[in-house]
Amino acid sequence: MWRILLCFYCFIQFDLAFAQVNSNATPAADRAANLIEAGQAFLQKRDYVNALKNFEQAKPLLEQQNDEYRLGRLLKQIGDLYSARTYFRQSAEHYRDAIILLRKTGQQELVGDCLESLANINVNFGYSAQAIGNYTRALAVKDRLNDTKGMMQCQLMLSKLYFSDKNYELALSHNREAQQLAGNDWATETSTAIQDVVILTFLDKIGEAEQALKKSRTLGRQTKQPHQLN
């Protein structure tokens, strides 16, 4: 009887060892990919807890493989997740770490996005100088990539920040840059024209403010026309 039990025990141990070896045989890169995919699925369902759990499990696997390309992207995604949950300090830490790897691996578009996200966090905390620095750096990246929409958003934010700091000349300059980038975006072109009026008034340039007001009214009428045709 004891021999039967001993054989049975050995078979169990063999099965457990085989299962362990089989699990370890799965390449770390594949396990990381599966975890990231699962995390993204949870993220789409807004299950942030399980999304973060999967992302955090994937991170050391990518580090083991020295896969800086995917690790940089993962760190950005974790930063986005924390930002969505308004955990801005954790979000900023992950964006900063992501930027290092994204730059190193030539993922400039994501570098620009991380810088812009950092600037948004700076605004949230009221850190005007840091926000201006990060928007300026994001603008430089987006300019190199010819990302017109991204450039316009950075210019708009810089104009608002300089206006809040009472640096009206720079506020006007960035507002007009945004206006030039607006293209067929009539809403942005109209809002920047109105902002021109406000800034010029603060600069005591009343004549220019009146001209800007006429332009904003003309643009306002043009914006309404498409809706009137429907």
* Residue-range domain boundaries for the chain: 69-146, 162-219
Report the pLDDT value the prediction gives residue 219, as an integer from 0 to 100. Answer: 66
Please give the Cα distance from 74 to 107 (Å, whole number). 13
In the three-class reduction of DSSP (H, G, I as helix; E, B as strand; rest coil), residue 218 is classed as helix
> Is-contact 115 134, C-beta < 8 A?
yes
Q: What is the pLDDT of residues 174-187, one digit of tens each?
A: 999 999 999 888 88
Q: What is the pLDDT of residues 3-20, one digit of tens each?
A: 443 343 343 343 444 334
pTM: 0.82
First to last CA, the chain: 89
Report the pLDDT value the prediction gives residue 223, as an integer from 0 to 100. Answer: 57
What is the sign, positive or negative, of the torsion defined by CA atoms of 8, 10, 16, 19? negative
Q: List the structure tokens of 13.
A: 């141990």
Q: List the structure tokens of 223.
A: 């914006």
Q: Which fold has domain 69-146?
A: 1.25.40
